[in-house]
Amino acid sequence: MYETVTCGIRINVTPQYLDDQSSPEDSEFFWAYTIEITNETEKAVQLRSRVWHITDGQGNTEEVRGPGVVGEQPVIVPGSSFSYTSGCPLNTPSGIMVGSYQMEDESGALFDVAIPAFSLDCPFAVRSVN
């Protein structure tokens, strides 16, 4: 699990390689990741948008932006959490994801919350130390 806290918003990420949806012989690798967003502040917050930077094992980076997550812009009240699961395909057996959420508090102020960098590693990938 990967974790970070920004402005009282805790982000936990758990990635999982999906062997049954991957096809290594075709250079198709797929991961699911579950994210739990916990509001440790005293104000409700709403997740407005997300930005992802996805880098494959060859160093190619793709940026993904959009409103909310999985079609939702959840309001997270103090002391509660919102969880969702999404996925990421790569054409290499390893990669890394990192990003941020834009949140809005009760007063309408916008702020960014870091999503910790997390690795996407095929359990069968050959690893080397550089």
What pLDDT score was predicted for residue 44?
98
pLDDT score at 127: 56
Q: What is the pLDDT of residue 129?
A: 55
| Per-residue pLDDT at 124 | 76
Angle (nearest 5°) at CA 72 between 17 and 77: 105
How far is residue 14's CA from residue 33's CA, in Å, rounded to a whole number?
Answer: 5
Q: What does DSSP say about strands 94-105 and 110-121: parallel, antiparallel, or unpaired?
A: antiparallel
- The pTM assigned to this predicted structure is 0.92
One-letter amino acid at 46 equals: Q
Residue 30 lies in a domain: yes
pLDDT < 50: residue spans in the chain: 130
The answer as to whether 129 is a domain residue is: no
CATH number at residue 102: 2.60.40.1470
Number of domains composing the chain? 1
Domain residues for the domain of 53 are 2-121
Q: What are phi and psi of 123, to 5 degrees?
A: -65, -15
pLDDT at position 128: 54
The verdict on residue 70 lying in a domain is yes
Residue whose C-alpha is closest to residue 36's, from 71, 65, 2? 2
The per-residue pLDDT for 123 is: 87
